[in-house]
Amino acid sequence: MDKTIEDFLTYLSSVKNLSTNTIDAYRRDLLGLLDYMRERFGKTDPVQFTRPELKSYLRDLFTHGFSRSTVRRKHSAIRRFYNFLQSNGLIKANPATGILNIKLDKPLPDVISEEKLVRMLESWKPTNIFDIRNKAIVELLYSTGMRVSELVDLEFNNLDLERREIRVMGKGRKERIVPLGTPAFDALFQYFQIRERFRPKSNHLFVSKSGNPLTRDMIWRVVNNSFKKLSATYGIHPHTLRHSFATHMLSNGADLRTIQELLGHESIATTEIYINLSLPRIKKIYDRTHPRKK
């Protein structure tokens, strides 16, 4: 890998405190750019890449079927990389600035209906240790709205069972405290009774049958397979539970600022997307409570 990219990734980790997943995404995006420039233009030094060559790369991404959001993300990574080079005196101007301006409508995230989700969880009666663990995972994701990466990193010292709270390490290594609902607490307590049967090799909360910490992909499969098995619902992933958590909270009267804090969003604008999802319920509340609704 090019040394300037190595230096940039080190900067993101040590100075900006970005998560491992975010840094890995930057690495993939920049290595993809290097491969393209080497094959198309015979260049290997990012300092020598020109604005027309970068435009060619981004245009070819569209040609090969990449979505607008993916191309915009890759462009953002490239632009930030060249900002780093410019600030360190390696280039005079950022060649990635101003070459792409993709405005995207925010897509509405997938959400499971409150009734369907509650019905599935209440009918779920675990029959083995894997089922007990899996229900604890699903209940915890829905109870807290945490990201799958945050769940992966959870250790026992993140839990305060007496207060029924969890200390979550979010993006940029920012900590937040999230309450734990009774169903999730009960599912976790049941999991604690059998966790040693997995012969855990670390202090991570959730472990595999080999005793190693569960990975993101493993948790995605746990969630997806659980919903397929128990409710014949397909394509459900951990972020669906995060979206459902926020939407159901808002629909039942929580304010945006509270949801922002619970989700660990840096900007309230990110949280506002859930207003659209809960609008039908909001209209019902308005019709029921506003004195001048007619």
Q: Is the pTM of this model over 0.85?
A: no
Choose the catalytic residue: 171, 176, 216, 237. 171
Q: Is 242 a catalytic residue?
A: yes
28-49 tens-digit pLDDT: 999 999 999 988 889 999 999 9
Q: Give the residue with greater pLDDT, 238 vs 105.
A: 238
Q: Is 147 a catalytic residue?
A: yes
For the cut 60, the answer to whether the pLDDT of residue 170 exceeds it is yes
pLDDT score of 90: 93
pLDDT score of 26: 93
Choose the catalytic residue: 74, 133, 195, 242. 242
270-289 tens-digit pLDDT: 787 777 666 665 566 556 66
Ordered by start, the domain boundaries in the chain are 3-87, 114-287
Choose the catalytic residue: 147, 204, 243, 248. 147
Q: How confident is the model at residue 269 (pLDDT cuts 50, 70, 90)?
A: confident
Q: Is 176 a catalytic residue?
A: no
Choose the catalytic residue: 72, 167, 237, 239. 239
Q: How confident is the model at residue 192 (pLDDT cuts 50, 70, 90)?
A: very high
Window from 10-14, 155-159, 194-198, 231-235 with minimum mean pLDDT = 231-235
Encode 237-269: b = buried (16+ Cβ within 10 Å), e = exposed.
bbbbbbbbbbbbbbbeeeebeebbebbbbeeee
For the cut 60, the answer to whether the pLDDT of residue 293 exceeds it is no
For the cut 60, the answer to whether the pLDDT of residue 294 exceeds it is no
For the cut 50, the answer to whether the pLDDT of residue 105 exceeds it is no
> What angle do helix axes 129-144 and 238-251 make, rounded to 10 degrees?
50
Q: Is 72 a catalytic residue?
A: no
Q: Give the residue with greater pLDDT, 106 vs 233.
A: 233
Measured CA to CA, the distance from residue 100 to residue 62 in angstroms comes to 12
Q: Is 73 a catalytic residue?
A: no
Strand-pair partners of 155: 204
Q: Is 290 a catalytic residue?
A: no
Fold classification of 114-287 (topology level): hpI Integrase; Chain A (1.10.443)
